[in-house]
Amino acid sequence: MRYVSTRGDLEEKRSAQAIIKGLAPDKGLYVPTKMPKLQMEFEHMSGAAYNEIAFRIMREFLSDFEEEELRRCTDGAYDEKFDTPKIAPLVATKNAFFLELYHGRTAAFKDMALSILPYLLTYSVRKEKEDKKVVILTATSGDTGKAALEGFSDVSGTEIFVFYPVDGVSEIQKRQMVTQRGANTHVFAIKGNFDDAQAGVKAIFNDEAFATRLAAEDYKLSSANSINIGRLIPQIAYYFYAYIQLIDSGKIVSGDEINISVPTGNFGNILAAFYAKEMGLPVKTLICASNENRVLADFINSGVYDANRIFYLTSSPSMDILVSGNLERLLWHLSGENSWEIARCMTELETTGKYTVSDKIKDGMSCFYGGFANMDKAHAAIRALWEGEQYLIDTHTAVAYSVYSDYREKTGDGTPTVVASTASAYKFADRVIECLGLPKPENEFDAIDALREATGIPTPAGLRGLGDKKIIHGDIVAKSEMADIVEQRLSALRASVN
């Protein structure tokens, strides 16, 4: 398996090389030159543990990894650090099946990929005989940052920098990041939104002079965002795992189609579902669920991507995004691998904030349904599901469930549907408390206790006592200062070693 850039740099890379680099030299994203097809019947996977499913899926993409190396990665990632042996259990409700992806240390779906990325990166560095320290740069809309920090904390040969929008994450998400321990962890708030943070990180990656200066000090840049193919590939596995759980529970038989509904911001999670479909998972419709920042829903319905719109701060902050980084990969695949068209679209996005895709790409999106749910609808979905079935979901999952409900009513499609449940309700406890019609506590940390008392659902271990933890990272910087702060911090670290 080889990887090339979406924007025309046709120099093929092995998976280890693509994982280390993160972003291609021409600003594009690495994509596989062919889509592997799963060569095994689903019933033969019956009863398999999650790490086994992950191994079987990932070996199709990471062919330069030895079997023993890849098994060490999957076995090391998916172990007791998750609070359930199933890792990603599937829970049935009356109208949908919720794939709970939040049982890792940070109580969000990013743990599913970021538990294994440090293993993949470490092995990649060894395989490529890379002698420079790897510097991980990450922009986060809330959950990626903490999961990346947790995964890379004190991992030898790495430094990790996380940038988050100062007013664009929940207080719980912020506290998770700013209390992170680890000698190699660096966390900064930026004055701006997630799109600003993401643009700042990409600008650093694309600054050749910056990379040259870092190389002179024995540092090399990489990323833990889903722009890194090593973040995207592990996410494919849990959709196959959901399908196998449906078979094992007798809800479907092998070969039956399913729908998948995903709360979508940066497009990585739903792109992984698209990859699963391309590999052979019987998926009928991919439901792309947006909140008020409905740029993706509008794009799917029109073929016009227009980021020139009001930016809303919502109760689902991880979806408060107007520039969806991973969409570029989908466009490349649907265009027939037309790198020229992708480069044209991305240039127009950078210069005008808008682009229109070809009819070929629009036709290729026929398996997608785009919809959105505002906060009122999402909050109503949380309350209805709790009162009707005693099942609790967070604000992001509620967007996906609400959009799926609209889809089902509009189309009459009764196909079994998996809803990606991307975070524990406790990560947004103050909003969920409000949705349930309960008195709102003074702060988000009191809301965690109040939600536990009201529902009886145990608090995730990583969120217990969070309000009492010592704040370690308190710096706030401008977007224009991001590169300088990285360089200054690395230079200081280098000097301290020497």
pLDDT digits (tens, 9 = 90+) for 378-410: 999 999 999 999 999 999 999 999 999 999 999
Q: What is the rounded distance in angstroms from the CA atom of residue 46 to the CA atom of residue 22?
A: 34
The helix (run of H) or strand (run of E) holding residue 306 is: strand 304-306
Chain mean position to CA 431: 22
- Angle, helices 327-334 vs 268-279, to 10°: value is 30
- Angle, helices 171-178 vs 143-152, to 10°: value is 20
Q: Write down the pLDDT at residue 28.
A: 95
Do 65 and 37 touch, CB atoms closer than 8 A? no
- Per-residue pLDDT tens for 307-342? 999 999 999 999 999 999 999 999 999 999 999 999
Q: Span 283-311, mean pLDDT?
A: 98
Which residues partner with 138 through β-bridges? Answer: 162
How many CA atoms lie less than 13 Å away from 37 in the CB half-sphere?
4
Would you place residue 143 in the very low, low, confident or very high pLDDT band (cuts 50, 70, 90)? Answer: confident
What mean pLDDT is reported for the chain?
95
Q: What is the rounded distance in angstroms from the CA atom of residue 284 to the CA atom of residue 263?
A: 17
Q: Which residues contact 346 (CB under 8 A, 6 or more apart)?
A: 7, 27, 28, 328, 355
Which residues partner with 5 through β-bridges? Answer: 30
* Residue ranges of domains in the chain: 90-106+233-455
Q: Span 135-161, mean pLDDT?
A: 92
Q: What sections of 2-49 are H helices per DSSP?
A: 15-21
Phi, psi dihedrals of residue 107, rounded to the nearest 5°: 65, 35
Would you place residue 160 in the very low, low, confident or very high pLDDT band (cuts 50, 70, 90)? Answer: very high
Q: What sections of 280-338 are H helices per DSSP?
A: 295-302, 327-334
Does the pLDDT value for residue 498 go beyond 90? no
How does strand 133-139 pair with strand 219-223?
parallel
- Per-residue pLDDT tens for 443-497? 899 999 999 999 999 999 999 999 899 999 999 999 999 999 999 999 999 888 7
Which tokens go with 43? Answer: 């019933």
Q: What is the rounded distance in angstroms from the CA atom of residue 132 to the CA atom of residue 143?
A: 28
Q: Write down the pLDDT at residue 39.
A: 73
Does the pLDDT value for residue 351 go beyond 80? yes
How many other C-beta atoms lie within 10 A of the C-beta of residue 410? 10
May I ask the CATH architecture of the domain 90-106+233-455? 3-Layer(aba) Sandwich (3.40)
Q: Write down the pLDDT at residue 496.
A: 84
Which residues partner with 109 through β-bridges? Answer: none
Would you place residue 200 in the very low, low, confident or very high pLDDT band (cuts 50, 70, 90)? Answer: very high
How many other C-beta atoms lie within 10 A of the C-beta of residue 11? 12
Q: What is the rounded distance in angstroms from the CA atom of residue 473 to the CA atom of residue 489?
A: 13
Does the pLDDT value for residue 142 go beyond 90? no
Phi, psi dihedrals of residue 285, rounded to the nearest 5°: -135, 135
Q: Span 88-104, mean pLDDT?
A: 98
